[in-house]
Amino acid sequence: MKSLSEIETTVKRASRAAGYSWGIAEEVGKSIRLSELFGFPGIKHLNQYYQNKKKENFDDIKLINKVNKSNGLSFCPITLGVNFIDQIKNIETLTKCSVEKLAFPLLLLPFLSRGSEIIGKKLLFSFDDSKFLLNFNVSISSNFWNKEIPILANQVEISFLNNEDNFSEQDWKNLYKLAEDTFVEETDSLKEGAAGAGLTDND
């Protein structure tokens, strides 16, 4: 088994050799390490992407907009990923953005995961039938576990989710009520003697 440290170092060097700057190569190293840590086939897709890059041209999205249309070429997931992290505070205000024709969408995943941590919001990444919920770079939920992830996504959507409960108020109330069963009803004597502070705070 390769260690995460070996993965990061080799990916960084390979990315530099594939034509990216050292600074970008560092970003790719960190991201693929993350991808493998979360159990997604980052190495496999990166390798395929770098092989394809030798024969095929890809387009770069420099400034990310709400809608990012293709001029025919597929977009590079690495440039998109790095710019997504760099521009995330601006993109967040759009609440949602879309990208047409993204090559190797799995390679964008770890960048989005890091982005989720930077802004403290969950992100929903969806393309075709696949959905990935990015939880603050702590975990990634997906309906695509153990399936072959496509190497081209025709239409990608990234949504910034508001920080909201994902349970109903009634569920919470019921649970809270149960939790109250661990509390002691205070008698007058307990009210007077069991708390640290005085009964009045007017002094």
Partner 1 sequence: MNIELRDPNIIMKLSRLGSFHQSRLSFLRSFLNEFKDWDYKRDLFDLDKDGFGTAVYSFKKKSRVYSLICYANKINDDERSDRVIATKWDAAFTLHDGVPLKEDIERLRNEVPKQEVGRLSYKELTLSRANKSVRVFDHVVESLSNGSQPNLDLLEKVGYLYRTTAVYGSGKFGLADRFRIKNREEINGPFRLEMMLVYLVRQFTFDQVNHVAKNRNPKSAVKLDPKICRNLGIGNSTGLGMAPFIVNHPTLLNNWILSREVALKKIREIKIAETKDISLFKECVKNSLKNITSWNTESEYQLKKIKLLLKDVRKFINFLENEFDFKKDYPFNEIYLWLEKETCEECIEYIVSIMMEPFGEIVQPLISQMSSEEEKYFNIPTERNVEDLKKILENKYSDILKIDFNKEDSNQKFWFISKNKEEPRLANRFEESGADLEQPLAIARDIKKLYERLLSLKNNLKINQFLIDNSDLRHVVRRAFIIENFPYSEIQDNTIGENIVPIDMLRLKLSFFGALKFDPRSDKWLRICMFQGAPLPNELKDYDEQWVYKTFS
Residues at the site binding partner 1, with contacts judged by CB under 8 A: 1-6, 13, 20-24, 26-27, 30, 62-63, 82-83, 85-87, 89-90, 114, 118
Nearest CB to partner 1, comparing residues 22 and 172? 22
**What is the distance between the alpha carbons of residues 40 and 107, in angstroms, rounded to a whole number?**
10
Shortest CB 166 distance to partner 1, Å: 27
8 Å CB contact between 87 and 80? no
Spatial strand order in the sheet of 67-68: 67-68, 96-103, 152-160, 123-127, 130-135, 139-142
Nearest CB to partner 1, comparing residues 117 and 192? 117
Shortest CB 14 distance to partner 1, Å: 13
8 Å CB contact between 109 and 140? yes
Nearest CB to partner 1, comparing residues 15 and 126? 15
Helices (H) and strands (E) in the chain, counts: 8, 6
Nearest CB to partner 1, comparing residues 2 and 55? 2
Q: 57 exposed, middle or buried (CB, 10 Å; 0-12, 13-18, 19+)?
A: exposed
Shortest CB 122 distance to partner 1, Å: 18
Shortest CB 63 distance to partner 1, Å: 7
Assign 118 to helix, strand or coil: helix
Shortest CB 185 distance to partner 1, Å: 41
Nearest CB to partner 1, comparing residues 6 and 56? 6
